[in-house]
Amino acid sequence: MTQPFHHTPVLLGESLRALDLRSGGAYLDGTVGGGGHSLGILQALQGQCALTCLDRDQEALEAARARLARYPQVRFVHGNFHQAQALLPGQRFDGILLDLGVSSHQLDQPHRGFSYHEEAPLDMRMDQEGGPTAADWLNTAPEGEIAGALRDYADERWAVRIARIILEMRAQRPLETTQDLVRAVDRAIPRAVRRREEGHPARRTFQAVRIAVNDEIAPLRAALTGLLGMLTPGGRLVVITFHSIEDRVVKRAFNSFRNPCVCPVDAPLCVCGRQPLASLPRGYPVSPGEEELRTNPRARSARLRVAQKL
């Protein structure tokens, strides 16, 4: 049974400060989740703003719609922020926020298949209205593709062995549940290693499969460039990441916005003609403080970065 959607916004105060909120401004929450960050924006500005809430998860969007019902000026759009320019043609914003993490609600809903703690169908789709499930991908992808995803998206050092076990298991019968995938990891990683490791041994595998199924990394750089183009001059793009792979993409994209020059490093002068698109405000990135980590341990890996359009 689906539980009420709950959303604990990570780095809420830091996000609001980073957005440099202004009364009467226009803002986009590109990953609205349960609406925690959006509610913070509306409360900080006493409702004096135009806010667009976007999410690929229909459950999240409906929860945000209910949570923000007393603010009639809020617009809700179903879709992926990767396609924000197509979904919101011609729109300009004074601030855009992305929270790239999987939500607590998604993790805690067994039927969504994100959690390795519960027996559930292997789904893991952020948008349940279409596309292959985790089971579809795991039962059809080549061994090298699975191993590559585990390595590239989760730094899993047992990637090759896990991928081989997955293929051995699916040759007997298709993987259908989250515990099928957990059993594959358990078979691949030696028991002595599992005992020494902190946290659940399947956590990296589940992260990598989720990223692969939802295509979270490959389009991210282009999406950030597109979102920067949707900002008004001086507007800010604020991004919260939760693992090193996506944080690396955001960091490199923001650095290229600040310094897009492609001339050789030993060239005496820049001749490519590329001009900076954004500045990077001082004091960032930031991570959660001890008080937030005490109340929300899932925030421990979060990092917040900011780019301000020139």
Q: What is the pLDDT of residue 122?
A: 97
**What confidence tens digit (pLDDT) does each residue in 135-175 have?**
999 999 999 999 999 999 999 999 999 999 999 999 999 99
Q: Are residues 207 and 231 in the same domain?
A: no
Q: Round to whole Å and give the CA distance between 47 and 235.
A: 19
Is the pLDDT at 5 greater than 80, yes or no? no
Q: Are residues 156 and 283 in the same domain?
A: no
Rounded to two decimals, the pTM is 0.92
Is the pLDDT at 221 greater than 70, yes or no? yes
Q: Round to whole Å and give the CA distance between 164 and 152.
A: 16
Encoding tokens for residue 148?
């590559």
Q: Is residue 5 part of a domain?
A: no
Q: Are residues 197 and 224 in the same domain?
A: no
Tokens 């789709």 locate to 125
The domain that holds 294 is classified in CATH as 3.40.50.150
Beta bridge partners of 20: none
Q: What is the pLDDT of residue 107?
A: 73
The domain that holds 155 is classified in CATH as 1.10.150.170
Percent of the chain with pLDDT strictly greater than 70: 97
Q: Is residue 141 part of a domain?
A: yes
Q: Is residue 263 part of a domain?
A: yes
Q: Round to whole Å and give the CA distance between 149 and 181.
A: 15
**What confidence tens digit (pLDDT) does each residue in 88-119 have?**
999 999 999 999 978 766 777 878 999 999 89
Q: Are residues 210 and 222 in the same domain?
A: no
Q: Are residues 92 and 222 in the same domain?
A: yes
Q: What is the pLDDT of residue 4?
A: 53
Instruction: Count helices and strands (H / E) in the chain.
Output: 14, 7
Tell me which of 214, 238, 263 is where a domain ends.
214
Q: Are residues 195 and 52 in the same domain?
A: no
C-alpha distances in Å from residue 21, one per residue of 35, 50, 87, 107, 235: 17, 12, 24, 31, 10
**What confidence tens digit (pLDDT) does each residue in 247-262 have?**
999 999 999 999 999 8
Q: What is the pLDDT of residue 6?
A: 56
**Number of domain units in the chain:** 2
Q: Is residue 111 part of a domain?
A: no
Q: Is residue 122 part of a domain?
A: no
Tokens 């924000």 locate to 84
Amino acid at 181: L
DSSP track, 107-167: HH-GGG---SSS--BS---SSTTSS--HHHHHTTS-HHHHHHHHHHHH--TTHHHHHHHHH
Is the pLDDT at 1 greater than 50, yes or no? no
Q: Are residues 137 and 189 in the same domain?
A: yes
Q: Is residue 113 part of a domain?
A: no
Tell me which of 160, 195, 214 is where a domain ends.
214
**What confidence tens digit (pLDDT) does each residue in 35-93 have?**
999 999 999 999 999 999 999 999 999 999 999 999 999 999 999 999 999 999 999 99
**Mean pLDDT of all residues in 297-304:** 92
Domain containing 285: what range?
A: 12-100+218-309
